[in-house]
Chains A and B, each alone.
Chain A
Amino acid sequence: MANIKRLFKNEVTKKILLFFNENPQSIDTAKGISIWVGCDADTTQKSLDKLVKEGILVNHKTSSIDAYSYTNQKDILKKIERHIEKLQ
């Protein structure tokens, strides 16, 4: 299971997690997500890769496009939600 607390320590990763928590239906490219979270594309890409590795995001990879969406795993989603509640 991903260490959510550690992930939230990185500012860009935190913004991505907040974005997907608020917009769980979203599927977008790294470039698109970098616009929504207001961070540069390279840093966003690194955080996205990390989140995919942790099983928090799903990578939809085809020959022409690489897109990301939120996991459907209930336990991970709950853990993130709880952490966000604590932040507020």
Chain B
Amino acid sequence: MKESDKKEFLLKFYNSKPILLLRNILTEIIGAKAKWLYFDSECNLVSGKAKVDTDISKILTRLRSKPSKEIQIFTCLSGKMCLSIPVTQGDNLYGYILVFYLKCEPDKNHLSFTQILIDTSLKEFQKEQELTKLYDTIRPRAIALSTIHTVHRLLTSTLDMDELIERIARLTLQVMRAKYCSIMLLDDSKDYLLPKAVIDLKNNTRGKKRHRKIKVGSYTEGKVAKTGKTILQQNLVCIPLIEEDIIGVLVARDKTNKTSFNKFDLEILLTLAEQAVIAIGNARLYEEQDKLAYGSIKSLAALLDAKSPNTFTHSEQFVKVVLAIAEEMRLPREEIRNLRYAALLPDTGKFSIPDEILKKQGGLSREEYNIIKKQHLESLKILGPLEFLKPAVPIIMYHHERYDGTGYPEGLKGQDIPIGARIMAVADAFEAMVSSRPYKDTKKSISQAIKEIEHNSGVQFDPGVVNAFISVSKKPEFQKLY
């Protein structure tokens, strides 16, 4: 134990409850006017006010020259007695409690009791101190570890790159208690860092300047991207994001409490960056898979369209309307992705329906309607082997269901119809009304089609989806489409 720690330990011990209790008990026995002084093992005063008189000086000199681990009784010049109680633990002598000017001499039992109380109290006090120290050391680390674990869970809960990068930046701000965070990733040429997420709580002009792309090698970010070495400054910490090679940099600036970034901050940020890199890698893989899947679906749609244009697929506007409704309804990204796939192949179910029924003008006979219902399910089997399309198949399958349960193929009703299918039903009906088809006599105006959709809310269509569609139809982006 360091000298300063030793002194602090003794001071705390002398002021601890058991010692105060001992003092109260002994005061009853030896008199209220007794003077209590507390010393370390070198006989330096630790606690208590003392004017070093001849008596005290004499006893201290004696204890210095002949340290004792036993309780001793001295007779002072005035004839009064003094008690020296050593504070010991095994071979270690921590200090002395000196009690001057006793009213009477304590008997042996009192002295034994005092010694036992001191020993036990010291043991307990030491244990308590160790536990406090352990608690003070471990608790912040455990909290930091729990934070990192939570960050890991938050980062791995999305595969959408934009959402992920934004989330990394927000979490960095929180964990670093910083006012600014930017995440820059290297472009394909690896010559420039492109800003992917910038959060500037101060929102000043310096922040705007940093939103530009940065050449590798220039500025702090560029230097870190070039060297792969972390930069830790008072108001900045910039670390490289390394997968196998450097993929970008993460920067945090300006602590909210105006203190400096320290090594602990750096340690936490490096751990967060490791999690971020794994999550970015996963999101990139997912993006690549999505591109492959989307490409395959587009090829399939093109093949079907070549066989019979506009029969199995719809316009680009249709896909945009479907996705706009889904965004308006704040559907989860995974659901929106499935809708995007389904919207490319909305009428694959028509594949094995005979042309004479498909292109028939006017109403269908009961028999023809039954053929459509049967063939609709049959046709969808061609999508079966495409694993990535599985979540999209129910959307395609059930988008001819009606909200009141009178649609096909299964007569599903209300919320039993998948949400994607309910969305596609509205967009499909709208598309059918506003576009010209060879087998259709008339087409409706946009406002007429919207009114028709509204009119069928709660009957053919989900009212929630209709409301979202109406909101979408009022947006300038929608008006540009038609």
- Using a CB–CB cutoff of 8 Å, the interface residues on chain A facing chain B are 23-29, 32, 36, 58, 60, 62-65, 67, 69-70, 72, 74, 77
Q: Are B154 and A25 in contact (CB under 8 A)?
A: no
Q: Are B153 and A64 in contact (CB under 8 A)?
A: yes
How many inter-chain contacts with C-beta < 8 Å in the A-B complex? 60
Q: Chain B: interface residue count, which band? A: 20 to 34
Of B77-85, B138-146, B378-386, the one touching chain A: B138-146
Report the bound CA distance from A78 to B365 in whole Å: 75
Residue of B nearest to A68 (CB): B150
Shortest Cβ gap from A55 to chain B (Å): 14
Q: Are A65 and B153 in contact (CB under 8 A)?
A: yes
Report the bound CA distance from A6 to B257 in whole Å: 25
From known contacts A63-B332, A72-B173, infer whether A27 and B147 are also in contact, taking CB-CB under 8 Å.
yes
Q: Are B143 and A23 in contact (CB under 8 A)?
A: yes
Report the bound CA distance from A65 to B149 in whole Å: 11
Report the bound CA distance from A63 to B333 in whole Å: 10
Of B56-64, B174-182, B313-321, B470-478, the one touching chain A: B174-182
Shortest Cβ gap from B362 to chain A (Å): 47
From known contacts A62-B157, A63-B157, infer whether A27 and B332 are also in contact, taking CB-CB under 8 Å.
no
Q: Are A70 and B332 in contact (CB under 8 A)?
A: no
Among all A-B residue pairs, the 7 with the closest Cβ atoms: A62-B157, A69-B174, A64-B157, A65-B153, A67-B150, A27-B147, A27-B150
- Using a CB–CB cutoff of 8 Å, the interface residues on chain B facing chain A are 140, 143-144, 146-147, 150-151, 153-154, 157-158, 167, 170-171, 173-177, 179, 201, 256-257, 268, 332
- With a CB–CB cut-off of 8 A, which chain A residues contact B171? 27, 60
- With a CB–CB cut-off of 8 A, which chain B residues contact A26? 143-144, 146-147
Q: Are A77 and B158 in contact (CB under 8 A)?
A: no
Report the bound CA distance from A58 to B175 in whole Å: 12
The binding surface of chain A is classed by DSSP as mixed
Shortest Cβ gap from A29 to chain B (Å): 6
Report the bound CA distance from A27 to B147 in whole Å: 5
Residue of B nearest to A77 (CB): B256
Q: Are A72 and B201 in contact (CB under 8 A)?
A: yes
The binding surface of chain B is classed by DSSP as helix
15 further contact pairs, Cβ within 8 A, besides A24-B177, A27-B171, A65-B157: A25-B175, A27-B150, A29-B150, A32-B146, A36-B143, A60-B154, A60-B167, A62-B157, A63-B157, A64-B153, A67-B153, A70-B174, A72-B173, A72-B201, A72-B256
A to B CB contacts below 8 Å, 13 in the list: A23-B140, A23-B143, A24-B177, A25-B147, A25-B176, A27-B151, A28-B147, A36-B143, A60-B170, A64-B157, A65-B150, A65-B154, A77-B256
Report the bound CA distance from A21 to B289 in whole Å: 44
Q: Are B174 and A27 in contact (CB under 8 A)?
A: yes
Contact check: which of B144, B146, B153, B174 meets A58 at CB < 8 Å?
Answer: B174
Report the bound CA distance from A80 to B154 in whole Å: 27
- With a CB–CB cut-off of 8 A, which chain A residues contact B177? 24-25, 72
Q: Are B201 and A27 in contact (CB under 8 A)?
A: no
Q: Are B140 and A27 in contact (CB under 8 A)?
A: no
Shortest Cβ gap from B95 to chain A (Å): 30
- With a CB–CB cut-off of 8 A, which chain B residues contact A58? 174
Report the bound CA distance from A69 to B154 in whole Å: 12
Report the bound CA distance from A16 to B176 in whole Å: 20
Report the bound CA distance from A26 to B256 in whole Å: 15
Q: Are B256 and A28 in contact (CB under 8 A)?
A: no
Q: Are B158 and A27 in contact (CB under 8 A)?
A: no
- With a CB–CB cut-off of 8 A, which chain B residues contact A23? 140, 143
Shortest Cβ gap from A86 to chain B (Å): 19
From known contacts A23-B140, A36-B143, A65-B157, infer whether A28 and B150 are also in contact, taking CB-CB under 8 Å.
yes
Shortest Cβ gap from A64 to chain B (Å): 4
Report the bound CA distance from A20 to B179 in whole Å: 18
Report the bound CA distance from A32 to B157 in whole Å: 18
Shortest Cβ gap from A60 to chain B (Å): 6
Shortest Cβ gap from A67 to chain B (Å): 5
Contact check: which of A28, A62, A63, A70 meets B146 at CB < 8 Å?
Answer: A28
